[in-house]
């Protein structure tokens, strides 16, 4: 794909405990499906999806990392150039929520200080098995200055919204020039109208 094929290019990396549904979220968004019998990710997977937002082509490079501890040294190396991180836990798994501070320490250590982090509570279709209340997660994300969204990769709840809102937010940050430089180019040419706020629910 040549440079002219998109207005923005962003790198998004999914992190979080094994089994919380990172791969399923990526597959749902990029391929529109919920894979049956999804195996654990080995190392890192990579997918691309180009979306159009207010007439601009936004190419999203989505990196799906393995949650298993033994891959941690490989996955850490993908943090640095990420424009955004989707930190995922499973609302039916208290343990995956309790590990979040540990993930935040990883982010602090390996990611750019300009990275945008979104906290995602996945598997809301399993409401009867919920172990982490929405309020608790919201309080945690507010304290950490993160956006919070609950999703179901299975039922396709909020998955588009997650990636599209994030793309809008990234466009806004790129225009303000505060993003990690390496992948936010090319910046839009002068004289283009700016009406990106209309699509974005992240503030």
Residues in contact with ligand GTP by CB under 6 A are 18-24, 38, 40-41, 66-68, 122-123, 125-126, 152-154
* Residue whose CB is less far from ligand GTP, 30 or 68: 68
CB of 16 to ligand GTP, least distance (A): 6
The answer to whether 84 and 117 are in contact (CB under 8 A) is yes
CB of 52 to ligand GTP, least distance (A): 26
* Residue whose CB is less far from ligand GTP, 77 or 185: 77
* Residue whose CB is less far from ligand GTP, 61 or 156: 156
CB of 29 to ligand GTP, least distance (A): 12
CB of 65 to ligand GTP, least distance (A): 7
Helix (H) or strand (E) holding 100: helix 100-110
Q: What gap in Å lies between CA 92 and CA 156, rounded to an integer?
A: 17
Strand partners, 189: none
* Residue whose CB is less far from ligand GTP, 40 or 48: 40
* Residue whose CB is less far from ligand GTP, 89 or 147: 89
Q: How would you classify the pairing of strands 116-122 and 8-15?
A: unpaired
Q: How would you classify the pairing of strands 56-65 and 116-122?
A: unpaired
Strand partners, 64: 14, 45
CB of 17 to ligand GTP, least distance (A): 7
Strand ranges across the sheet with 84-90: 44-53, 56-65, 8-15, 84-90, 116-122, 147-150
Selection from 68, 143, 136 nearest residue 97 by Cα? 136
């Amino acid at each position: 794909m040549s440079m002219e094929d998109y207005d923005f290019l962003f790198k998004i990396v999914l992190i979080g405990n094994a089994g919380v549904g990172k791969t399923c979220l990526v597959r749902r968004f990029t391929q529109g499906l919920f894979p049956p019998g999804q195996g654990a990710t080995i190392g890192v997977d990579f997918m691309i999806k180009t979306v159009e937002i207010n007439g601009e082509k936004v190419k999203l490079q989505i990196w799906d990392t393995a949650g298993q501890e033994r891959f941690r040294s490989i996955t850490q190396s993908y943090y640095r150039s990420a424009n955004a991180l989707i930190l995922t836990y499973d609302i039916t798994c208290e343990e995956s929520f309790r590990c979040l501070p540990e993930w935040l320490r990883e982010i602090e250590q390996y990611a750019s200080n300009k990275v945008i982090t979104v906290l995602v509570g996945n598997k809301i279709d399993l409401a009867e098995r919920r172990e982490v209340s929405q309020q608790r997660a919201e309080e945690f994300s507010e304290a950490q200055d993160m956006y919070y969204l609950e999703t179901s990769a299975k039922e396709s709840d909020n998955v588009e919204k997650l990636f599209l809102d994030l793309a809008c937010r990234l466009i806004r940050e790129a225009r303000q020039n505060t993003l990690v430089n390496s992948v936010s180019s090319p910046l839009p040419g002068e004289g283009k109208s700016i009406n990106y706020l209309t699509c974005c629910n992240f503030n």
